[in-house]
Chain A
Amino acid sequence: MLIQLEAEVTLHAVLFYVLGLIILVATGLAITRREPMHAVLYLIVAFLGTAALFFLLGAPLLAAFVVIVYAGAIMVLILFVVMLFRQSSRELGQPAAWGLATLLGVTFLAVIVAMVLKDPGGNVVLQGAVAPPGKFGQFLFDRYWLAVEIVSILFLVALVAIIQVGKRRGTEDIEK
């Protein structure tokens, strides 16, 4: 069932490429900013674009979760932690590190692109479909209820770790 690539340009395809461009540009700007504050703000744009992309890929519930959890909670958490640091947390510019890391990333990307292009299944045109939130929730708690419980235990463990590590006790002798 290979459908050739030159399908007519639909609205969905245009939306996909525009959203992909937005995500790529915002992510690229985010990882190159010097100030973590600016990086986080650009990353919020990238995550909102990702949420729209998820909606396009047929996951409206996950799109809402990405807006709530990623763009809403995680990024605001990072933003507040960035504000906690007294000095502006500029890093020491190390231009050498960029070269090697970019080489690594480009090599990795080339391998991925070669693998995707080699795969004959990669030409299959995705058909639009949507997982209704109610159906998805029922599926999740029907089939993966144990994993959901494990995730709640993971959150509990993370909470205990955060309370323990975040305590101020025992650090006074080390800091000056």
Chain B
Amino acid sequence: MIVPMGHVFILAGIIFSMGLVCLVARRNLIMTLIGVEVMMNGAAIAFLGASLRWRLMEGQAFMLFILAVAAAEVAVGLTLVVNVYRRTGSLDPDHYDILKW
């Protein structure tokens, strides 16, 4: 016996909301990406808790795909951040106004 399933989901929910707050509040693009990573972490914990609850390996398989998508997402996102930093010299999204005229 480990813990009630609700506790696993509440832990996942707290982690997900922390990532959401980080994503919305921070004005640094790196911290925004970190917020997305934290949110994916929370989703992965929920998937594994459900996988253990119903004794199905599908949840673990989905967790593996979440991992793969997170890796691809952070690589592309960091490349975009580096590119936009080269163009504007800033990491603050408010300074990105090249497309304005």
Q: Which A residues have a C-beta under 8 Å from some C-beta of B?
A: 5, 7, 10, 12-13, 16-17, 20, 23-24, 27-28, 30-31, 36, 39-40, 43, 46-47, 50, 53-54, 56-59, 61-62, 65-66, 69-70, 73-74, 77-78, 81-82, 84-85, 89, 91-92, 94, 97-98, 100-102, 104-106, 108-109, 112-113, 116-117, 119, 121-129, 131, 135-136, 139-140, 143-144, 147, 151, 154-155, 158, 161-162, 165-166, 168, 171, 174-175
Contacts and interface: CB of A to CB of B under 8 A. Distances in A.
A125 B3 contact: yes
Interface residues of B, number: 70
Given A91-B26, A131-B60, A174-B87, A125 B2 contact: yes
A156 to B, nearest CB: 10
B52 A129 contact: yes
Contacts of B21: 31, 98, 101-102, 104-105
A84 B20 contact: no
Interface in B1-48: 1-11, 13-22, 24-28, 30-31, 33-35, 37-38, 41, 44-45, 48
